[in-house]
């Protein structure tokens, strides 16, 4: 969940966020990262929900830093307090040192110069032999008021994202689309949004993850449906980086530094 979407009061997580977290937890397990990773840097980590899940699978003594330059004092006290994920430190200062796993999940679309941003983490924060897990919103034609509300600079074509990762010295191990079933609803919602705007209708703020008010039963059904959808991405990813990628609302890639890139 984007930091701007986290409610101030206790809340039920949106089924999309739950399914997304479980998906990337499984990606880490399938790739053998859960057993080998001891240090994690989660950039733009929000409240650390996914970070805490990943640490549960990692060796005892593993640790993580959730970094976001926009954390307020209240955020740091709230997320890093006694009720926060064990082994996780929250910081608005970029941490020194190198990490076995860097998470850049739905974050590079928020920065003006995505290439320089990614390159700096590969060069300065990635441990030798470490991994980088990236996800981005897919398909520029789907850029909408929701993207504007979240302060996105862009959405990505999968091939453009792959090229960007290669340019900063990353080699893709596994990749694919994500949330395939949400593509059609997003296309229809965007068409409706543009039709209303064309009629001069004033549009209210777009919904966000923090505004989810579905009950337990509906949340469970939707989460299970999205999880079943995401199984397709897991299956195709196991075929290797050259496997066909079924289009989805997001694109993701698990990477390592290419030979000769990174710290000496």
Q: Domain with 239 in it: what CATH number?
A: 3.40.50.150
Q: Which residues of the chain have pLDDT under 70?
A: 1-10, 82-84, 203-212, 241-244, 259-264
Number of folded domains that form the chain = 1
Q: With a threshold of 0.75, does the pTM exceed it?
A: yes
pLDDT for residue 12: 76
Which residues, 6+ apart, have CB-to-CB distance to 198 below 8 Å?
A: none
Q: Is residue 234 part of a domain?
A: yes
Q: Is residue 97 part of a domain?
A: yes
Range(s) of the domain holding residue 31: 3-257
CB 247 within 8 A of CB 233: no
Q: Is residue 114 part of a domain?
A: yes
Q: Is residue 182 part of a domain?
A: yes
Q: Is residue 220 part of a domain?
A: yes
13 CB neighbour count, 10 Å cutoff: 18
Q: Is residue 262 part of a domain?
A: no
Q: Is residue 264 part of a domain?
A: no
pLDDT for residue 7: 62
pLDDT for residue 264: 45
What pLDDT digit, counting tens, does each position of 146-186 carry?
Answer: 899 889 999 999 999 999 999 999 999 999 999 999 999 89
Q: Is residue 263 part of a domain?
A: no
């Amino acid at each position: 969940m984007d930091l701007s979407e986290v409610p101030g009061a206790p809340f039920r997580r949106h089924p999309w966020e739950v399914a997304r977290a479980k998906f990337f937890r499984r990606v880490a397990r399938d790739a053998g990262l859960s057993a080998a990773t001891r240090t994690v840097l989660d950039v733009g980590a929000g409240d650390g929900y996914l970070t805490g899940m990943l640490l549960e699978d990692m060796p005892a003594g593993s640790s993580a830093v959730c970094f976001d330059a926009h954390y307020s004092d209240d955020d740091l006290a709230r997320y890093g307090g006694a009720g926060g994920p064990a082994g996780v430190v929250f910081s608005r200062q970029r941490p020194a040192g190198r990490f076995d796993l860097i998470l850049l999940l739905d974050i590079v679309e928020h920065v003006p110069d995505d290439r320089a941003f990614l390159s700096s983490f590969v060069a300065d924060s990635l441990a030798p032999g470490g991994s980088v897990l990236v996800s981005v919103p897919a398909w520029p034609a789907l850029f909408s008021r929701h993207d504007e509300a979240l302060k996105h600079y862009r959405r990505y074509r999968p091939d453009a994202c792959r090229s960007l990762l290669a340019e900063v010295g990353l080699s893709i191990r596994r990749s694919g689309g994500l949330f395939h079933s949400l593509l059609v609803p997003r296309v229809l919602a965007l068409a409706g949004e543009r039709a209303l705007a064309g009629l001069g209708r004033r549009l209210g703020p777009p919904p966000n993850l923090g505004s989810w008010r579905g009950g337990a039963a509906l949340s469970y059904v939707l989460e299970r449906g999205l999880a079943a959808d995401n199984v397709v991405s897991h299956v195709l990813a196991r075929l290797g980086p050259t496997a066909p990628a079924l289009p989805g609302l997001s694109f993701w890639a698990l990477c390592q530094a290419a030979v000769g890139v990174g710290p000496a």
